[in-house]
Amino acid sequence: MPPNLLRRPAFFWIATGGVVMLLAAAVSFVHQLREVQLQAEHNFSSRTALVQKFVTLNLDKLEVMSLLLRQHYHAPPAPGATALPATQPHGALWEIQLPLVLPGTDEGDAQRTAVVTGPMPQQPSPQQQREILAAAAMAPQIRSAFKYDPDVFRLYYLSAQKFLYLASRSGDEHVHFSEALYQRRYWSVAGPANNPARRTVLHGPYPDAGGLGMVVTFAQPVHDGDRFLGIVALDLGVDKLQRLTTVGRSAGSSLLIDASEGLVISAADMTPGQPVRAPLPDGTLRWQKDSDGTRWLHSQVAKDDLSLVHRLPRNTLYAAAAARSVDTWIIVLLSGGLFVLALRLRRAVSEVQWLTQIDPLTQVLNRRGLQQQSRALLALARRKRLAVALAIYDIDHFKKINDSYGHPIGDEVLKQLGKNLQAGLRKSDLFCRWGGEEFVLLMVLDVPENASVVAERMRQIAQQARIPTDGSGITLSAGVVVLADGESIDAAVTRADQHLYAAKAAGRNRIVFGGAN
């Protein structure tokens, strides 16, 4: 086949290979999308369990503190019970220091104290004294919290009777009773007006007044029947919660949000308190998508108050899947490159092989090309029981043309002749330049006797060539034979050549048909 036809199958295979490789890459990308989401789901489940356990442990501390306070608030004073120490002035406040460790016990730092402060000039009222003594009963739980939980900064009881009972790990000198404490969210939300269910509330994160960094406050309301006494609370550093929300590696970020969907904790670059508009949970751990295409997971870690959500923006998801697909893309690109290189190499080899079968002057088959391509034609003729004829043409007085007009004009005549014969060729036939000014036509025929008719038609077409300088015409002589069964091309050419000599001897410009051997 000519070189221009080689481009079609090459392009087809390159295009097909490209489509297949793109499909493979697309399938890999879709698979990685699912893998990224699965990994995020697994990490989110682990983070939820850890955060839930952490929050539950701290809520349990508050529950025990509240229980101890309420029990001692209702218990009658024990015989010989120690009265409250005398108050000491502290600026505009009165202050009482109460030991957290009883004298004579081995509980660590026996000097650790809780500080009770209230506004001057009033001294603690009997009601306040009753609550202070009840708050002092929380000391065992406070000691345990400080001993086993380094994330707890302080525990305290803020009374509606305007005093603060405070135990701090660092011995705060800057945290005392203030009317501003009643403006904090943990007080306003924990009160009976906004919290009829008496649930634990969360406030923060916010900068700690004692300089301990960002803290969050868990607060639980304390009631005596229907009477609201105050809140027990603990302050935690946010570092532990942030670490828990980043356990494992996965795309996206996990956020701890409160009941109003305000951000509490995030390792991402987000502002605490910033609204987080996650889709409403449906009670299952499955992805939900918002209007921006961001995917969300949702899990409750504290009933009616705290939830952990995982936010996976669409761009982050696609980037993570693409990063995980890099190996596949490299393989696809390398395979595609090798595939294209192989096709180009095959095409180059085919073109080289083709060029060895083409006469460079006339751009028709040469003798080798005819020998190569005739095999398929002869095989087809044998299968279909068709006749094969061969004609050899020779330009009359071609030497005289070269001598008279020069070899470049002779070459031009050969080019015209080759072009004319190639244009008039039937699809089933082959045509080549045998050598010099001789050309061979190989024909497949239903009737052997038609060989001379086809050969004569081709001779007339060939004689349309003209000498460029003066427009003179040319003539051809030909010898035609029908191949016998098993006869080779070379043998047939030898026989046809004899009939060509006969045509020339008879005056040229004619065909001599020799029939079968």
* Active-site residue list: 437
CB atoms within 10 A of CB 129: 16
Closest alpha carbon to 135 in 161, 113, 163, 157: 157
Residue 498 CA, distance from chain mean position: 75
Identify which of 474, 455, 456 has the alpha carbon closest to the alpha carbon of residue 464: 474
Parallel/antiparallel/unpaired status of strands 476-482 and 511-516: parallel
Hunting for tokens 């009616």 — which residue is that? 304
CA-wise closest residue to 49 among 337, 248, 191, 312: 248
Cβ neighbours of 319 (radius 10 Å):
13
- Estimate the crossing angle of helix 314-324 against helix 326-355, to 10 degrees: 60
- Under a CB-based contact definition with an 8 Å cutoff, are residues 201 and 305 in contact? yes
d(CA 257, CA 243): 15
| The CA-based dihedral angle spanning residues 442, 446, 451, 453, taken in that order and rounded to the nearest 10 degrees | -120
Is residue 9 a contact partner of residue 215, using CB atoms and an 8 Å limit? no
Q: Map residue 103 onto helix, strand or coil.
A: coil
- Residue 283 vs residues 50, 240, 286, 290, 300: alpha-carbon distances, Å: 19, 27, 9, 17, 9
Do 139 and 114 touch, CB atoms closer than 8 A? yes
Q: What distance lies between CA 515 and its chain's CA centroid?
A: 73
Rounded CA-CA distance 476/402 in Å is: 16
SS (H, E, C) 231-291: EEEEEEEHHHHHHHCCCCCCCCEEEEECCCCEEEEECCCCCCCCECCCCCCCCCCCCEECC
Query: Going by DSSP bridges, is the β-strand pair 438-445/387-395 parallel, antiparallel, or unpaired?
Result: antiparallel
Strand partners, 230: 159, 222
